[in-house]
Structure 1
Amino acid sequence: MMKHTHCSRLLITLSAALLPLACSPAWAGKADDTLNVAFDAAPATLDAYKESDRPGLALGRMLYSGLIQKNQQTGEFGPAIASAYKFTDDKTLELTIRKDVRFHDGSLLKLDDVLYTLNLVSSKDYNARFQNTVSWIAGVDKVSDNTIRIRMKEPFPLALEMLSENLPIYPRSYYEKAQSDMGVKPIGTGPYRLAESQPGSRYVFERFDGYFGSKPAIQRLVVRILPDANTQYAELLGGGLDWIWRLPPDAAKRMASQPNVDVKSSSIMRISYININPAFQEGKSPLANVKVRQAINMAIDRESIRKALVGGSSKLTDSACNPLQFGCTTDVRTYSYDPQKAKALLAEAGYANGFTIDMVVANPPRSILEAAAANLAQVGIKVNLVEQQFGTAVTNWRDNKVALMAANWGSYGIADVALSTSNFFKGAGDDLVKNPEVVKLLTAGDTSVNRDFRATQYGKALKIIADQAYWVPLWNHSLNAAQAKNLNFAVDSDEFPRFYKASWK
């Protein structure tokens, strides 16, 4: 039998990897103060304004700083590059810029760097990857030697959300000369700097001693790209890695049984749902009837499905949003699992014998929707599951070619219903209902900076959506991460691992 002399060399299948190991791993990281983590996909670029995937954006949060910083636990905003901020009116925000912020090349951040960055990325020709982070900016002006003024196109309540990490400040002298270099040789003001990299394979970050904020507790961060999950499991169990994430429920359960591994399940912003299209077939399908839509909600045993197939720290949702988000009221009509009542509603709607309909599955696991389809079949609704790529599904949905669509939505990690409920029901492309009262309420909430007023408008809109059963709220997602026992760390609810918060026990 082959003998393994080093646990870190084990490349074994999942079933074998999760058996107790004969050797006691010497956990990586603590002795040399290096945190070793793995992602399953490489970032396309380290330029935060051009990247779209979460691994790359997560690394950007190590490299760059925003003007302000959000406390992910309390939801409060505090200082970062800006030492203070204030709304001077509904469309104007003034920020005081610190004078002791340094870029990774040692140069001091200047007011001109802030003006240059924000005016550039919000310009028509720049093409920032996520336009919603910059499209609200009308212009940025200098007020004094340490103060800038951001002018909004209209009142934008998410301004503080965007200024916290979503709008990093770049050094003008560097970025102006060669923007493409930022993607491979980034220079930011964040808590870590890129020390070396093998793009697509390995990235080494070192604590930036010139960082203006609280320094990370761990000196070095090594990020490796390991697409194969079994390799990640073996490396973690063998001590070659300290942290991995996005474990499916079955793997998380098995990992939790290992003596030297902690598994943490974090509630995150992402939600699963089934969107219902009342306008399908020009409003002549059964879905046009509110009683049918309500019956669909009552026919699905959401809690049993969640418990058996989702697990973790997920919880049922009752509104068209995530309860972690501002404005997401749970004081709405709810639909408990009641197949008999669902059958009665179908009969009242004229469908006592049921009907057949397609459901496009955009990204939840098929097994989950198979369980939901089985529930619907019990009340007479035969559902044909049609799997499509998310982009294709969204295009077909917007073209009114889809009756039901099962998908999930992460709200870009923003804890505000303006990026969940409003995305689906404010009259834009994803809104096939276009209820004028709902559109009016959401528009009012999205264009005010008065939090009490916004909460009231959103609450009214969400009640209408629930009363009319325009969609089936399922549950919020949880994210499973496995890590070495000697590591203190947890992923925040916006689905970003902020490694600068990590420490050793």
Structure 2
Amino acid sequence: MTMNRRDLGKGFAAMGGLALPALIGGQAQAQRAQDTLRIVFRDAVPNIDPYYNSQRTGLILGHQFMDGLVHRNPENFEIVPALATAWNWVDTTTLDFTLRQGVKFHDGSDFTADDVVYTVNTVSKPEARVATPSNYAWMDRAEKTGTHSVRLHLKRPTPAALEYLALVTPIWPQAYRERVGADGFARAPVGTGPYRVTRVDVASIVEYERFDGYYQGGPKGRPAIRRITARFVTDAATELTELLAQRVDWIWNMNPDQIDNVNRLPFLQALQQESMRIGYLSLDAAGRSGAGNPMTNLKVRQAVWHAIDRQALADRLVRGGSRVPIAPCYPSQFGCNADAAVRYDFNPAKARQLLAEAGFPNGFEIELTSYVQPRQWSEAVQSYLQAVGIRARLNLMQVAAQIQRAWRGELAMSMGSWGSYSVNDVSALLPNFFDGGNDDYARDPELQRMLVEGGSTADAEARKRAYDAAIRRITEQAYWVPLHTYVNTYAFQRQLEFKAFPDELPRFYLAKWK
């Protein structure tokens, strides 16, 4: 079932009066009695193994059932023990770990050093074809130094190594994965986390059950809720309709316009939390989508920057304290220096002048792809572009489909978002878009050199200088437009105790019924 905005308004109105007692005492109470948390996401993932998708939903799904060597405390970003109880920097490229004993995988097998070595030595190699190679390109190899000890060798000094290990490097069970293969693991994944996966259908649903064998002292703790069902729907209206009808207990990233309406209902609540995700507009400066693409012209790209009122997008559409990043990164990330960026004001007249100078006095037509929801955000960017003569044909897509087209080099102009896997370092963002990989639509060797320089030293000042130079070049060349920070909008049953964190990683293992 889908509803437009007018229908949604009618739906809210219809939930007054006599309808409410039935709703309050109905399905939500029943699910609470069954100890099941029902959540909905708008983007199905191609693979529940977090190594093989770059979507935030995939990271969230994996975080509930897999653990890494270390864990980042969401309250203060402190790195704390997980599958490793201790670690020590031997030198700038060598890291020793003491592993926790007595840990079981969900299939009952023991966690050992062999599992860590197998995981690291697989995902760090190009032939693994992981979704985001830059997350693991800094690792050289792991070696077993004892039954419960491992040495990790780095290709280069990587100050953010522990953050990557905490957020994007969960440990596979070697024996199980080798037995069932990568495809078998995706269908029936096994980890060491507080929940175990009981069913996977990547097109429709993932089901979890509390893992009562979760190890003592684990940083995620024992979940209060026994079961989770995570369903996938295709659009925001269906998602909200499901919440209103109390067929689900939790959704996120609904249209902020609906916050007040949701909070008027006695059985629902909504809240907002800024995250480390930024919305962006990628421009095909390299001509991957065709040599005649207007985005290969610097003045056209500069016109795009001047054409969009990014502050209005943040204030009027995203809301909730959304900010406009001056540099192409999240402001708190190490190396994200706004002072190094070339600034572009909202100036439609300047945009039209630049288009004329570039040989497009009457503008041009171009495809604008976007998976961004709510769709009004994409439509606003489309309108700003059309106002200066860039007639963008908006093509709204599912996340996975747009990623596939991006990797094939088919997108002249595309809207998306990037959460840096919540790693608070620009090495989690800039290399993904500018190191020559699938998402790089600049293909700038000088910029690539700067990023290698910034990622090859532990010297903070040297890293800052390199990243300053990279930010200056990205903005001078107008390769990639940072539009706004994201503010996640959560809506859920009032009976559910749920806390949002700024790293955009919902922790359902911390949720409980009131």
Deviation at 1:258, TM superposition (A): 1.8
Provide the rounded CA distance (Å) in 1 between the counterparts of 2:463 and 2:283. 26
Question: Could you tell which deviates more after superposition, 146-155 or 171-180?
Answer: 171-180
Unaligned runs of 5+ in 2: 1-6
Letter in 2 for 1:98: R
Q: Indicate whether 1:337 and 2:337 are aligned.
A: no
Pairing 1:481-492 to 2, within 5 Å after superposition: 481-492=490-501
- Give the TM-score normalised by structure 2: 0.79
Q: Post-superposition shift, 1:40?
A: 4.6
| Change beyond 3 A, Cα 1:127–1:262 | same
The equivalent position to 1:211 in structure 2, one of 187, 212, 215, is 215
Taking the aligned partners of 2:292 and 2:257, their CA distance within structure 1 comes to 42
1:87 matched to 2:93? The reply is no
**Which residue identity lines up with residue 83 of structure 1 in the other structure?**
T
Question: What is the CA distance between 1:299 and its match in structure 2?
Answer: 3.2
Question: 2:270 is aligned with what amino acid?
Answer: V
Note the C-alpha offset of 1:170. Answer: 3.2
Aligned twin of 1:6 = none
Q: Do the aligned residues in 2 keep the contact of 1:139 with 1:152 (CA within 8 Å)?
A: yes
TM-score, length of structure 1 as denominator length: 0.81
Cα 1:374–1:362 shift into 2, 3 Å: closer
Secondary structure of the structure 2 residue equivalent to 1:448: coil
Q: Distance in 2 between matches of 1:425 and 1:122?
A: 19
Deviation at 1:367, TM superposition (A): 4.6
Partners of 2:483 and 2:498 in 1: CA distance: 28
Alignment match of 2:455 (pick from 441, 446, 450)? 446
Q: Which residue does the alignment assign to 1:7?
A: none
Change beyond 3 A, Cα 1:237–1:277: closer
Query: Following TM superposition, by how much is the alpha carbon of 1:148 offset from its aligned partner in structure 2, in angstroms?
Result: 0.9
Return the alpha-carbon distance in structure 2 between the equivalents of residues 282 and 40 of structure 1.
35
Q: Is the 8 A contact 1:49 1:129 kept in 2?
A: yes
- 1:307-326 equivalences under 5 Å are 307-326=315-334
1:368-383 matches, within 5 Å, as: 368-376=377-385, 378=387, 380-383=388-391
Say whether residues 1:114 and 2:116 are aligned partners: yes
More helix by share: 2
- Provide the C-alpha distance between the structure 2 equivalents of 1:483 and 1:359, rounded to a whole number of angstroms: 36
| AA of the residue aligned to 1:227 | V
AA of the residue aligned to 2:105? F
Deviations, residues 288-332 of structure 1 (Å, cap 9, x unaligned): 455x65444233222223334333453222211222433222223
Instruction: Return the letter of the residue paired with 2:347.
Output: D
CA distance in 2, matches of 1:183, 1:122: 19
The size of the alignment, in residue pairs, is 486
Aligned-pair identity in percent equals 32
Q: Confirm or deny: 8 A CA contact 2:225 2:513 kept in the other structure.
A: no
Aligned-partner SS, 1:178: helix
1:383-426: CA deviations, max 9, x gaps? 34353752475357x47x83x44443343444332232233334
SS of structure 1 residue aligned to 2:338 = coil
1:75-113 CA deviation, whole Å, 9 max, x = no partner? 332211111223323332211112232333555422233
Q: Which amino acid in the other structure matches residue 220 of structure 1?
A: R
Pick the aligned partner of 1:190 from 189, 193, 208. Answer: 193
How far 1:483 sits from its partner (Å)? 0.8
Aligned-pair CA distance for 1:427: 4.9
C-alpha distance in structure 2 between counterparts of 1:427 and 1:125, whole Å: 17
Are 2:102 and 2:215, in contact at CA under 8 Å, matched by a contact in 1?
no
Q: 1:497 to 1:92 in 2, by over 3 A?
A: same
Q: Structure 2 vs 1, CA of residues 45 and 75 (structure 1 numbering), >3 Å: closer, same or farther?
A: same
C-alpha RMSD over aligned residues: 3.7
The yes-or-no answer on 1:394 pairing with 2:406 is yes
Structure-2 residue corresponding to 1:9: none
* Residue in structure 2 matched with residue 298 of structure 1 by the alignment: 306
Q: 1:102-154 deviations in whole A, cap 9, x for unaligned?
A: 33355542223323333344456554454444444332112244321112334
CA contact (8 A) 2:134 2:432 kept: no
Structure 1: segments with no counterpart, 5+ residues: 1-12
Once the two structures are TM-superposed, the CA of residue 206 in structure 1 deviates from its matched residue by 1.5
Q: Which residue of 2 aligns with 1:18?
A: 12
Whole-angstrom CA distance in 1 between matches of 2:380 and 2:82: 47
8 Å Cα contact 2:284/2:295 also seen in 1: no
Q: Quote the Cα distance in structure 2 between the aligned partners of 1:175 and 1:289.
A: 48
Corresponding residue SS for 1:169: coil
CA 1:100–1:274 in 2, change beyond 3 Å: closer, same or farther? Answer: same
Q: Check the 8 A contact 2:40/2:250 in 1, yes or no.
A: yes
- 2:170 is aligned to 168
User: Contact 2:187 / 2:200 at 8 angstroms: preserved in 1?
Assistant: no
Partners in 2 of 1:340 and 1:259 — Cα distance? Answer: 49
How far apart are the structure 2 equivalents of 1:201 and 1:278? Answer: 39
Give, as a single letter, the amino acid of the residue that structure 1 aligns with 2:196: R
